[in-house]
C-alpha cells in the first residue's frame, strides 16, 4: 500500500525526560516534522525546541496551551508524553481537532474517561494509539510469533509486572517534577500496568475474539518510598514524614472471556533489579522471562527441565524484528521505542487505523482505575467494560499490524 502522505507534521505535547527521548527518536526520521511543542514548563519547552532546531534548522512553534497548536495548519498528528492524568484530555482534544493521536503509556482515572476516548475516536474517525513500546519488544514479539505457530498450545495464564525500583527517581523531591510523585502520594492501585499488559493482551487476542471481563486487586502497605526518603532525603521539606498512598506491591488478577487468568504486579518502591516478570503458560509450553527459560512438551530435550530461550528467540524472531535487525537497530529501550513510533507514524502516513487502536488504549487504561476501585474495596472483583460494545466477538485481527495472530486468537474461539 502506497503512503498517502510523504511526510507528516507532528505536535509534541509534554517534553519532560520521556518526551524529549521521544523527540530524539523522531528527529532522525525524515518523514516526520516536529512543527509544534507544548509543555507547562518554559525551560522544558525551550530545551526541546533547541533539539529540534539543532536537528532540522527550524524552530517549532511553542505554546504553553497545546490547544493553540491544534489550530495550526497542516498538523497531522499529536504525540503526547505529558503527565498520566493529562493524557486523556490531550487525546480527546486532538481527535476532536481531527488529528491522529499517539499517547505515552499511563492509566485512566475514571471509566468515563475511557468511554469518552472510544466515543470520540468512533465519532471523529481519528485513531488513538497508546504508544506501548513493550508490544514491540524483541522477546515479546518472538513469543507472539511462537504463539502463532501453536508452540504454547491453548493459552491459559500470563503474568507480568512493572517491577522497577524507581525510588531514586520518584522520591528526589518536588523540585524534580517527576510525574509519578503526586500519584504515589495520593493513589493506590496498579497505576502503570501496560508494559506487561499490552503484550499479553496481544497474545490473548483481547478485543479481537477475547476480552477482559473482571479483575481483583490487592495492595500491600506503603513503606518503601517513605523509608527511602527518611534515609536519603531526611531534610526534604515537601516529603519529610509524608505518607505515601501507593502500596509497594499491587497484585491484580484479571479474568478473560475465554477463561484465561492474567496476573499483574506493580512494584516500584522496593529495592530490586528491573524485570517485566513475563511468564506465559499454555497447554503445550511455558516461557519465563526471569529464568530466560522455556519448556515445550515433547520438544524440550529433558522432561521437567528448563531450556534456554536463546535459540528460540533466534529461530522465532518476529518478521518485523528480522527486517529491523537487517536495517540496523536504533536505540531506545533496545530498539522497541523506535518500532512503536514507526508503527504510529506509518499509520498516519497511510491514513489507516493504528496498530494499537482506541479499544486497546481504553481497555488497557481502564485497568488502572478499576484496580484502584478494587483495592479500595478490599479486593472486590469489578467488571471490566467491553469498550467494543460487543464487536470483539467478530472483530478480525487487523491485517495491517504485526500483531496479527489469526491462528491462535481466532481459531480458538470461533
Residues making contact with a copy of itself (CB under 8 A): 153-154, 156-157, 165, 214-216, 218-221, 223-224, 227, 247-249, 251, 253, 255, 258-261, 263, 267, 270-274, 281-286, 288, 290-291, 293, 295-297, 304-306, 378-381
Q: How far is the CB of 165 from a copy of itself (least distance, A)?
A: 6
E-strand ranges in 105-248 read: 128-130, 155-163, 212-219
Q: Which is nearer to a copy of itself, 111 or 264 (CB)?
A: 264
Q: Which residues pair with 249 in a beta bridge?
A: 267
- Residue identified by cell 491462528 is 407
d(CA 66, CA 61): 10
- Residue identified by cell 490473548 is 204
Length of the chain: 414
Q: Which is nearer to a copy of itself, 23 or 375 (CB)?
A: 375
Residue pair 56/48 in contact by the 8 Å Cβ criterion: no
Q: How far is the CB of 330 from a copy of itself (least distance, A)?
A: 24
Q: Which is nearer to a copy of itself, 129 or 201 (CB)?
A: 201
Q: How far is the CB of 193 from a copy of itself (least distance, A)?
A: 15
Q: How far is the CB of 254 from a copy of itself (least distance, A)?
A: 8
Q: Which is nearer to a copy of itself, 258 or 330 (CB)?
A: 258
Residue pair 145/316 in contact by the 8 Å Cβ criterion: yes
Q: Which is nearer to a copy of itself, 88 or 170 (CB)?
A: 170
Q: Which of 404, 389, 353 has its CA nearest to residue 119?
A: 389
d(CA 210, CA 230): 46
Q: How far is the CB of 16 from a copy of itself (least distance, A)?
A: 22
d(CA 115, CA 153): 34
Phi, psi of 316 (to 5 degrees): -110, 20
Q: How far is the CB of 50 from a copy of itself (least distance, A)?
A: 31
Q: Which is nearer to a copy of itself, 238 or 274 (CB)?
A: 274
Cell reading at 155: 493459552
Q: Which is nearer to a copy of itself, 152 or 344 (CB)?
A: 152
Q: How far is the CB of 137 from a copy of itself (least distance, A)?
A: 19
Q: Please, is 315 exposed, middle or buried when counting C-beta atoms within 10 Å of its C-beta (0-12, 13-18, 19+)? A: exposed
Amino acid at each position: 500500500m502506497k503512503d498517502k502522505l510523504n511526510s507528516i507534521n507532528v505536535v509534541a505535547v509534554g517534553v519532560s525526560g520521556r518526551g524529549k527521548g521521544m523527540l530524539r527518536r523522531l528527529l532522525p526520521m525524515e518523514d516526520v516534522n516536529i512543527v509544534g511543542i507544548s509543555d507547562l514548563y518554559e525551560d522544558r519547552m525551550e530545551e526541546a525546541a533547541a533539539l529540534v532546531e539543532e536537528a532540522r534548522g527550524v524552530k517549532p512553534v511553542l505554546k504553553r496551551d497545546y490547544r493553540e497548536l491544534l489550530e495550526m495548519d497542516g498538523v497531522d498528528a499529536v504525540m503526547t508524553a505529558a503527565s498520566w492524568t493529562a493524557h486523556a484530555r490531550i487525546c480527546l482534544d486532538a481527535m476532536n481537532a481531527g488529528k491522529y493521536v499517539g499517547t505515552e503509556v499511563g492509566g485512566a482515572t475514571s471509566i468515563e474517561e475511557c468511554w469518552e476516548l472510544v466515543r470520540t475516536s468512533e465519532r471523529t474517525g481519528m485513531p488513538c494509539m497508546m504508544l506501548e513500546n513493550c508490544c514491540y519488544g524483541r522477546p515479546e514479539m518472538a513469543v507472539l510469533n511462537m504463539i502463532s505457530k501453536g508452540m504454547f498450545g491453548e493459552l491459559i495464564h500470563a503474568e507480568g509486572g512493572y517491577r522497577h525500583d524507581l525510588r531514586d527517581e520518584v522520591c528526589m523531591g518536588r523540585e524534580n517534577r517527576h510525574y509519578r510523585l503526586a500519584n504515589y502520594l495520593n493513589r493506590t492501585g496498579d497505576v502503570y500496568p501496560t508494559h506487561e499488559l499490552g503484550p499479553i493482551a496481544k497474545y490473548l487476542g483481547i478485543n479481537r475474539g477475547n476480552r477482559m471481563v473482571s479483575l481483583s486487586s490487592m495492595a500491600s502497605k506503603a513503606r518503601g518510598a517513605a523509608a527511602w526518603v527518611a534515609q536519603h532525603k531526611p531534610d526534604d521539606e515537601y516529603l519529610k514524614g509524608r505518607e505515601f498512598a501507593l502500596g509497594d506491591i499491587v497484585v491484580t488478577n484479571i479474568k478473560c472471556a475465554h477463561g484465561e487468568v492474567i496476573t499483574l504486579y506493580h512494584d516500584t518502591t522496593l529495592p530490586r533489579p528491573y524485570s517485566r516478570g513475563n511468564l506465559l503458560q499454555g497447554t503445550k509450553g511455558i516461557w519465563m522471562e526471569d529464568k530466560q527459560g522455556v519448556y515445550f512438551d515433547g520438544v524440550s530435550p529433558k522432561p521437567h527441565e528448563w531450556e534456554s530461550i536463546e535459540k528460540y528467540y533466534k529461530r522465532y524472531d518476529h518478521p518485523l524484528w528480522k527486517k529491523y535487525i537487517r536495517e540496523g537497530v536504533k536505540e531506545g529501550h533496545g530498539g522497541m521505542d523506535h518500532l512503536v513510533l514507526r508503527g504510529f507514524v506509518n499509520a498516519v502516513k497511510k491514513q489507516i487505523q493504528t496498530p494499537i487502536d482506541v479499544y486497546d488504549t481504553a481497555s488497557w487504561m481502564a485497568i488502572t482505575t478499576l484496580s484502584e476501585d478494587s483495592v479500595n474495596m478490599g479486593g472486590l472483583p469489578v467488571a471490566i467494560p467491553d469498550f467494543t460494545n460487543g464487536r470483539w466477538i467478530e472483530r478480525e485481527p487487523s491485517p495491517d499490524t504485526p500483531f496479527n495472530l489469526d491462528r491462535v486468537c481466532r481459531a480458538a474461539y470461533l
